[in-house]
Chain A
Amino acid sequence: MENSRKSSLVLHIGVLALLFLLSFILSDYHQLTITRIMVLAIFALGYNILFGYVGLLSLGHAMFFACGLYAAGLPVYYLGWEVPSAFLFAIVISAFSATLIGAIALRTQGVAFMIVTLMFSQVAYLATLYFSDITGGDEGLVLPEHARSFAILGMQVDLTSPQTRYYITLGLLSASVLIVYRWVNGGPGREWVAVRENELRTRMLGYNTFLIKLKAMVISGTLSGGAGATYGLLFAYIGSTFASIQYSIDVLLFTLLGGAGTVLGPILGSFIMFYMIDFFSGYTTAYLLATGVVLILLIVYFPLGVLGTLRKKWRLWLP
């Protein structure tokens, strides 16, 4: 067991190192694509904590992504905030709203939880449209010039450079992966899985399962919000689309496809799905159809996803 633990840590670091090495050979265009994918991967990583480890299926995670997006973008746009402070602000606001929404939504279970999260998310989405004087609604807002660069530790960071954006995102993704990896392999992960596998038994052993779920929801929402903030700040654009149901479904798909309940699964899923949609949209404008077909195929034939299936087949030790 110790050996496989070591090799799994090597695997995780290896994947991150590979992404780093890729930056030297990729063209600007591909760097941009992978930057986007990595941001979505952070989103999926956060989603997976709640879905994959705690077993709670949320249909409303777009609201956390959008929460981070707007909480970072609006102060920059209206108040002239600097990028780092806007980012930190977005993290705090995301954690706060996840706590609030979790405290309410977690009173429900199963299908009711799906519906409540979906409902909250729709409210958030419609609010971004309703207040389009402020949010820019569907058209969105393009962040001003001053937010395209910032100074940190005496260094000037230029956010218009594809390379810089790539490294920033990779840095955030690596930090997220390593933190999640550690949690999943430690005490918190054991509690999450215990709730997923048998909540009543877990409660009867002395665990406050509501608190466990709430904490997981806050972590999940904060990571998702962090991804949203990153997206908005790096690409200097915030818009309602990111709050729409499509993003909630996409993140579920990424996680299912790669393998729910594995750390690397959501990342792999984000890559496969992104390129698959890219491929289909070359042939048809109905590329959303591909999303639907993949979802159905996954549920029928492949419920464990790529890494989940590998883990089961070879009894690999993958966290």
Chain B
Amino acid sequence: MEALVAVSLLSTKKLNRRFGGVVAVKDIDFSLEQGEIRGIIGPNGAGKTTFVNLLSGRLASDSGQIVFRGVDITGQPAWKRARLGIAYTFQITSIYPGLTVFENVAIGAQMRSHQSSKSRPWTDWKTNLEEIVGSCLRMTGLDWSRTRLAAELAYGHQRLLEIAVNLAVDPVLFILDEPTQGLSVDEIREFTDLLRRIRSDRTIILIEHNLPFVMNLADRVTVMDQGGILAENDPKGIQVDARVKAAYLGE
């Protein structure tokens, strides 16, 4: 029977986290397959951000287990998890505002070149870095802004830059916390295209309030409510789920 169970990229067992008396994440069993785009939706305060913070290691869990690519990462600090391939973009854009766009991405790229080319000579390492930065900037359409200060970029471009910085690390799993927040309709369309390009060789967790955006992109959607998982299905199934409607509309 064991052989029939698909090996998931990431799974959690009975994951818990409380803040004082508030249980933010309660007994969550969650499983994510390689290559999928998973939407996580739910009303405010449902515990979505806390949950993904437990995955990325920004917060420590009180109890439960997290397994990523067969490794138990429950006790590992955030930076180790990032090295294993978990990237995280913040709900409030987090970049290096005082540095140029190139330097922003180079910080991410250096992490990758460090890991992949420890044995290579210094010069090779440097060209490698330039190449990585170049390709990430082209992918996110920010090539024109290389020498600009990140702080001077428009908000939408800063969001893209955060993606580019993370892309440079070459993660396996991308956790995006409300990426479309504050973006215009046009920007959201571009963002959707970008995520479609990124997903070709990556897995994505998408926390969103923008339902059309999630339903359009996600393969499966997990609905959270009051710290637990309320429902999990493909987008169509979720849209007709009575429990979900109840949680959202209070019916």
Contacts and interface: CB of A to CB of B under 8 A. Distances in A.
B132 interface: no
Interface in B51-99: 56, 58, 77-80, 82-83, 87-88, 90, 94-99
Contact of A205 (B58, B97, B103, B166): B166
Contact of A197 (B77, B99, B108, B110): B99
B96 A198 contact: yes
Contacts of A164: none
Interface string A25-60: 000000000000000000000000000000000000
A203 interface: yes
B107 A194 contact: yes
Contacts of A203: 78-79, 82
Interface stretch (A111-119, A170-178, A185-193): A185-193
Residue from the set A1, A187, A201, A204 with the largest chain B CB neighbour count within 10 Å = A204
A1 B106 CA distance: 15
Contact of B88 (A190, A194, A198, A204): A204
A209 B79 contact: yes
B204 interface: no
B96 to A, nearest CB: 4
A206 B107 CA distance: 10
Nearest to A194: B107
B98 A197 contact: yes
A205 B165 contact: yes
A81 interface: no
A207 interface: yes
B117 to A, nearest CB: 12
Given A198-B94, A209-B79, A190 B107 contact: yes
Interface residues of A, number: 18
Interface residues of B, number: 28
B114 interface: yes
A161 interface: no
Contacts of B108: 205
Nearest to A211: B79
B169 interface: yes
B107 A202 contact: yes
A205 B94 contact: no
A187 B114 contact: yes
B94 A200 contact: yes
A204 B82 contact: yes
B9 to A, nearest CB: 18
B111 interface: yes
Contacts of A205: 79, 82, 87, 107-108, 111, 165-166, 169
Residue from the set A190, A203, A206, A208 with the largest chain B CB neighbour count within 10 Å = A206
B129 to A, nearest CB: 9
Contacts of B165: 201, 205
B98 A206 contact: no
Interface string A196-240: 011011111111110000000000000000000000000000000
Contacts of B77: 208
A38 B30 CA distance: 61
Given A190-B110, A191-B110, A207-B111, A201 B79 contact: no
B79 A197 contact: no
A190 B96 CA distance: 12
A207 B99 CA distance: 18
B58 A204 contact: yes
Contacts of B107: 190-191, 194, 202, 205
Nearest to B107: A194
Contacts of A208: 77, 79
Contact of A206 (B82, B90, B95, B147): B82
A208 B95 CA distance: 17
Interface in B145-168: 147, 165-166
A190 B103 contact: yes
Nearest to A187: B110
A215 to B, nearest CB: 14
Contacts of A209: 79
A208 B83 CA distance: 10
B169 A201 contact: no
Residue from the set A193, A194, A208 with the largest chain B CB neighbour count within 10 Å = A194
Interface in B103-152: 103, 106-108, 110-111, 114, 147
B136 to A, nearest CB: 13
A316 B106 CA distance: 20
Contact of A193 (B82, B83, B97, B99): B99
B2 to A, nearest CB: 32
Residue from the set B56, B77, B82, B83 with the largest chain A CB neighbour count within 10 Å = B82
Given A191-B107, A201-B90, 14 more contacts: A187-B114, A191-B110, A198-B95, A204-B79, A204-B87, A205-B87, A205-B165, A205-B166, A206-B79, A206-B82, A206-B83, A206-B169, A207-B79, A207-B111
13 contacts: A1-B147, A190-B103, A202-B107, A203-B82, A204-B58, A204-B78, A204-B79, A204-B87, A205-B107, A205-B165, A206-B82, A206-B83, A206-B169
- What 4 A-B pairs have minimum CB-CB distances, sorted nearest first? A206-B82, A197-B96, A206-B83, A201-B94
